[in-house]
Structure 1
Amino acid sequence: MNILMLTSEFAPATGGIGTYAREIAFAASQLGARVTVIAPDYAADSTAEDRALPFRLVRFHGGLHSMKNLPAKILLAHSKVRIEDFDIIHAADWPFFIPLALARHRTQARLLMTVHGTEINETQTPLKRAAIRAAGVFGPRTEVAANSRFTRELFRERFAIDEERVNAIPLGVSEFWFKPRGRRKDVRKAYGIDQDKIVMVTVARLTRRKGHHLTLAALERLPRELRQRITWLVIGPKGESDYVAEMREMVEKSDCEIHLLGSLTNEQIRDIYGASDFFCLTGVPDPSGRVEGFGLVYLEAGAGGLPSVATAIGGVPDAVLADETGLLVEPNVEAVAQAIVEMVDDSDTRSILAAGASSHARALSWERCAAETYGLSRPEDRIAAVIESLNASRAQPVMPIGH
């Protein structure tokens, strides 16, 4: 199978779409597909890193998307779709939806577009909707992959498209997060954490919709003796400046033990997962229209052996299975506080949910995601098919000789 992917985000830029594009391209290559990725260069030379990838990466001049880049992307898609005989052409994010639709007459390949959540609301302005209609973006040849059941239903509410052409395909988690971590005792010592503390960790950009303020309010609602048993590690880059300032002030006034660690490498985060007891990310509804389309970080924490306390918003219920991989609650202070109490007080609950979280993360691999997205077969699928065929043949009745 020959696949062309068009994406407006890729490494070295960080973010969910860049992770998706890289991981699904990598997984498809491992499954035997020939993959070409077209991605921005961010005005940097990444030739050495790009050559080490198991797929072909072609960079175009550009950075993070803005609408003024659309004409250039239209020309780019128009020139790239016919460079080879592709079986699938995949627009990995919405900035390439219109460019791919306008180039569809130049190829007989399957046309695939992935929706991640927030962009569905962002494309509801009259101008963008008119452009989408005029380009025939979601015409009869277009297939849509949504990253969760929530995203699929949100998309179907906003756009008229046949149900069978919209599939919910949950994201995957990289094998990286399952790899060995630093010794729990050593990692805690490095970050100045007492060995007897219950460590709760959050990994998310410090922005209002991620709900750090809700988690803090829930912690402060707990009895003082229980609060003092908890250390909260907050990892992630800064978001809105006013919210960051507000959170810092709240942390300074709180008597909870909170470490604002800022941005860390994935290796450092993986070590911290091994030194922690549970993950907590309590996102809240965002009136601006931004949504949590899935919640990949919950899977990464699960791969690190951590159950989650999470709020049931957006696509999070696909990433955190209620009472199987974590505690899924409504986004209010009382519910989050009760979930934290249960995690802290009941080590058996933590252990059971941790096992479920690890199993769920293992099941949602990127190879599974790539196979479902592109129609590729995995080795385990082929083995299962052979076993099923053998069992079917053995079940056939044996005809007596002479008949």
Structure 2
Amino acid sequence: MNILLLTSEFAPAMGGIGTYAREIAAAASRLGARVTVVAPDYAQHTDDDDRSLPFEVVRFRGGLHSMRDLPRKIMLARRGVRGDRYDVVHAADWPFFIPLALSRWRTPARVLMTVHGTEINETQTTLKRMAIRGAGVFGPRTEVVANSRFTETLFRERFAVDPRRISAINLGVSEFWFGGRRTRREVRLAHRLPEDRLVMITVARITRRKGHHLTLAALSRLPDELRRRITWLVVGPDGEADYVGDLRRAAGEAECDIRFLGSQSNEEIRDLYAAADFFCLTGTPDTTGRVEGFGLVYLEAGAAGLPSVATDVGGVADAVLADETGVLVPPSVESISPAIAELAADRGLRAILAAGASAHARALSWERCAATTYGLAYAGKRASANHAMGKTA
């Protein structure tokens, strides 16, 4: 099978869509497909990194998407589909939906478009809906792939598309997150975390919709004795400056050990998971229309053996199975605080949910995701660790 994957986000930029494009391309390659990825260059030299991947990467001049880039993407799609005989042409994110729709008459290939959640709401303006209709984006030949049941439902509510052309295919988790890492003792020593500390970790950009303020308020409600036993590790880059400032000030006044560790590499995050007892990310509904389409980070934590405290927003319920892989509660302080208390105080419960989280993550491989998306043969086996994250042996 010959696959052309068009994406407006890719390494070295960080983000969920870039991860999706890289991982599904690598998994399809491991399953025997020939994959070509078209991605922006971010004004950087990426030749060495691109050559290490098990698929071809064709870079175009550009960065994160703006509407000014649309004419260039239309030309890229036209040249791309014409340049080779593809079996599948796949737009990994919405900036390539219109370019691919305007080019599909040039190729007999299957036409796939993946929706991730937020962009479904963002395309509801009058101008964008007119452009989508005018280009026939979701016309008869287009197959839509949603990254969760929630995203599928949201798409159906917003667009009148034949349900038979819409599929919900959960994302995968890389073998990297199951792989070797430093021991719990080594990491705890490095971060001065005593063995008797209960370590809760959050990995997410510090932005309002990720709900760090809810977690902090929930911690403040815990009984004094339990709260003082907990260390909260906050990993991720800063988002809105005013929100980050307020959160840091509130954390400084809280009677709890809270450590802001900033951005960390995947290897460092994997080590921190080894030192932690459970994961916590309490997203909240966002009035701007941004949504949590799935929640891949919960699976990555689960692969490292961590149960989660999570809020039931967006597609999180597909990533965190209630009372099987974690505790899933409404996005309110009144619900989050007892959930943290329950998981922190009950080692047996943490062990049961950790086993479930690991099994759930193990079942959701990228090979499964690629095979289901593209119709590739799949024996149900994961890639070996030395092929994780797109690396070659």
Asked if 1:31 is matched to 2:21, the reply is no
Residue 385 of structure 1 aligns with which residue?
none
Cα distance in 2 between the residues matched to 1:380 and 1:207: 37
Give the deviation of 1:185 after TM superposition. Answer: 1.2
Structure scoring higher RCO (CA < 8 A, sep ≥ 6) equals 2
Cα distance in 1 between the residues matched to 2:53 and 2:227: 46
Q: How do 1:162-181 and structure 2 match up within 5 A?
A: 162-181=162-181
1:207-240, CA deviations, whole angstroms, 9 ceiling, x for partnerless residues?
0000000000000001111101111000000000
Q: How do 1:121-270 and structure 2 match up within 5 A?
A: 121-270=121-270
Give the deviation of 1:304 after TM superposition. Answer: 0.5
Cα distance in 1 between the residues matched to 2:182 and 2:56: 34
1:171-192, CA deviations, whole angstroms, 9 ceiling, x for partnerless residues?
0001100001211111111112
Question: Match for 1:316: what amino acid?
Answer: V
SS in 1 for 2:310: strand
Question: Match for 2:171: what amino acid?
Answer: L
SS in 2 for 1:139: coil
Cα distance in 1 between the residues matched to 2:325 and 2:236: 23
Question: Match for 2:200: what amino acid?
Answer: M
Residue 284 of structure 1 aligns with which residue?
284
Residue 44 of structure 1 aligns with which residue?
44
1:140-171, CA deviations, whole angstroms, 9 ceiling, x for partnerless residues?
00000000000000000000101111000000
Residue 321 of structure 1 aligns with which residue?
321
Give the deviation of 1:379 after TM superposition. Answer: 2.8
Cα distance in 1 between the residues matched to 2:60 and 2:73: 9
Q: How do 1:343-362 and structure 2 match up within 5 A?
A: 343-362=343-362
Cα distance in 2 between the residues matched to 1:142 and 1:276: 44
Asked if 1:94 is matched to 2:94, the reply is yes
Q: Is the 2:305–2:355 Cα contact (8 Å) retained in structure 1?
A: yes
Q: How many residues align?
A: 381
SS in 1 for 2:114: strand
Normalising by structure 2, what TM-score? 0.96
Are residues 367 and 72 of structure 1, via their aligned partners in 2, closer, same or farther at CA, if it must alter by over 3 Å? same
Give the deviation of 1:49 after TM superposition. Answer: 1.1
Cα distance in 2 between the residues matched to 1:380 and 1:130: 42
Over 3 Å off, 4+ runs: none
Asked if 1:295 is matched to 2:319, the reply is no
Question: Match for 2:209: what amino acid?
Answer: R
1:57-104, CA deviations, whole angstroms, 9 ceiling, x for partnerless residues?
100000000011001101111111011110000000000000000001
Asked if 1:77 is matched to 2:77, the reply is yes
Question: Match for 1:235: what amino acid?
Answer: V
Normalising by structure 1, what TM-score? 0.94
Question: Match for 1:299: what amino acid?
Answer: L
SS in 1 for 2:260: strand
Q: CA RMSD of the aligned region, Å? A: 0.7
Give the deviation of 1:380 after TM superposition. Answer: 3.8
Structure 2 portions without partners, runs of 5+: 382-393
Cα distance in 2 between the residues matched to 1:329 and 1:358: 20
1:19-70, CA deviations, whole angstroms, 9 ceiling, x for partnerless residues?
0000000000000001000000011111111111111110000000001100
Residue 109 of structure 2 aligns with which residue?
109
Moved more, 353-362 or 339-348: 339-348
SS in 2 for 1:218: helix
SS in 2 for 1:286: coil
Residue 11 of structure 1 aligns with which residue?
11
SS in 2 for 1:57: strand
Report sequence identity in percent.
70
Cα distance in 1 between the residues matched to 2:277 and 2:223: 19
SS in 2 for 1:379: coil
Residue 400 of structure 1 aligns with which residue?
none
Cα distance in 2 between the residues matched to 1:223 and 1:216: 14
Asked if 1:366 is matched to 2:366, the reply is yes
Cα distance in 1 between the residues matched to 2:362 and 2:346: 25
Moved more, 288-297 or 371-380: 371-380
Cα distance in 2 between the residues matched to 1:303 and 1:82: 41
Q: Is the 2:215–2:336 Cα contact (8 Å) retained in structure 1?
A: yes
SS in 2 for 1:114: strand
SS in 2 for 1:215: helix
Q: Is the 2:200–2:233 Cα contact (8 Å) retained in structure 1?
A: yes
Q: Is the 2:368–2:380 Cα contact (8 Å) retained in structure 1?
A: no
SS in 2 for 1:249: helix
Moved more, 226-235 or 182-191: 182-191
Cα distance in 2 between the residues matched to 1:186 and 1:259: 18
Cα distance in 2 between the residues matched to 1:282 and 1:273: 17
1:247-282, CA deviations, whole angstroms, 9 ceiling, x for partnerless residues?
111111111110000001111100110110000000
Cα distance in 1 between the residues matched to 2:49 and 2:226: 48
Cα distance in 2 between the residues matched to 1:256 and 1:136: 54
